[in-house]
Structure 1
Amino acid sequence: MKTLIKALIIICLPVKFACAFEFVPATGHHHTPLKTEHIAYSGSVPDNVKNKLATAYVAWRGTHYRWGGDSHSGIDCSAFTRRVMMSAWHLQLPRTTLEQSRTGRHVSTRELQPGDLVFFITKPGVHHVGVYLGDDRFMHASVSQGVAISHLSDPYWQTRYMTARRIGTSQNHYA
């Protein structure tokens, strides 16, 4: 955890503390006030994985959703996962969510590790993807909140969950 805090301090200093050590989890399509939570991990998640995911989140947090977008002026969910996987592990993903859902290998929800991709069907024919963080959380480009963190156990996401995929080998997540 100390390594994560140091990494976030280094990231935040250049922007004069514009970012904090907290995140605001998205709660599906609900527009209720959101509680602020700390980025924390239970269990044994290697510091380098925590740092890579925290760095990606801090870099993109709050970026508005834009269908087809692939920049800080607006990004969609599949472009966000592409950017995270490339910057964290130099893994190249296909452009669309459906193509990404066919990449790597299937993992069950009880096998999920930080860095795995989680997929949802939000409407008939509409797919959504995020990056699993551990402890029931995933980061994603949310249509309603931009880049945010949500909980898999949120009823909205739970009823729309499709699958999870591990891209590359588990070594990619811990390299």
Structure 2
Amino acid sequence: MVFRIFKLVVLIATLQITGCVVFTGDEDLSSQNEVKTLLNNHYQNWQGTPYRYGGTTKNGIDCSAFIQQTYKKLFDVKLPRSSRSQIKVGKRVPYSQAMYGDLVFFHNGRKVSHVGIFMGESKFLHVSTRKGVTISSINSKYWSKRLYRVNRVLAN
């Protein structure tokens, strides 16, 4: 128990020192801008990487692996491997309150089938089967019908 508390204190201190941001929703614009910058830089590094079911590398990656790797690299947060497991992490928030870095989940009518990261202005970062790693609009005809929920994982 003491080790877990120590580990948590070290993680929080490390995040503050390195500039990685964790937030609860009450933070100022500068925190959101930091997350936006981290995500945009990460996107530039992965843009166009092809979709591959079960893939985990730049040779090909699927949506849940991309989210898992992004959260680990940028925020040192370990997420489960599948979107159906990732939806169980964090706190559900209304789409109207979505913030940079929140997870957005989509369904195919019966079950969760896709996950991405909210990028502000109704955009999300994800891995498309046609375009690979890309940014898409949640308001598009395709995605707006399938939006299921938003989860906030990054928290103090």
TM category (shorter chain) comes to 0.7 to 0.9
Structure 1: how far apart are the matches of 2:150 and 2:64?
A: 14
Aligned residue number for residue 134 of structure 1: 120
The farther-off stretch of 119-128 and 49-58 is 119-128
TM-score, with normalisation over the residues of structure 2?
0.77
Say which structure is richer in helix.
2
8 A Cα contact 2:102 2:151, kept in partner: yes
TM-score, with normalisation over the residues of structure 1?
0.69
**Residue 106 of structure 1: which of 77, 89, 92 is its match?**
92
Aligned residue number for residue 143 of structure 2: 157
Identity, in percent, stands at: 36
Map Cα deviations across residues 123-172 of structure 1 (whole Å, 9 max, x no partner): 64451000000111001011111001101111100101111111141x4x
Structure 2: how far apart are the matches of 1:167 and 1:44?
A: 18
Q: Unaligned 5+ residue runs, structure 1?
A: 1-42
Q: Unaligned 5+ residue runs, structure 2?
A: 1-27
> Secondary structure in 2 aligned to 1:144?
coil
8 A Cα contact 1:45 1:114, kept in partner: no
8 A Cα contact 2:90 2:152, kept in partner: yes
Superposition deviation, residue 122 in structure 1: 3.1
> Secondary structure in 1 aligned to 2:126?
strand
Structure 1: how far apart are the matches of 2:62 and 2:88?
A: 18
- Equivalent position amino acid for 1:44 in 2: L
Structure 1: how far apart are the matches of 2:131 and 2:69?
A: 18
Aligned residue number for residue 44 of structure 1: 29
- Equivalent position amino acid for 2:87 in 1: S
8 A Cα contact 1:70 1:76, kept in partner: yes
Map Cα deviations across residues 41-87 of structure 1 (whole Å, 9 max, x no partner): xx935332122101110111000000000000000000011111111
Structure 1: how far apart are the matches of 2:110 and 2:45?
A: 31
Q: Which of structure 1's runs of 4+ aligned residues deviate more than 6 A?
A: none
Question: What is the number of residues matched between the two proteins?
Answer: 128
Structure 1: how far apart are the matches of 2:34 and 2:70?
A: 14
Structure 2: how far apart are the matches of 1:58 and 1:85?
A: 16
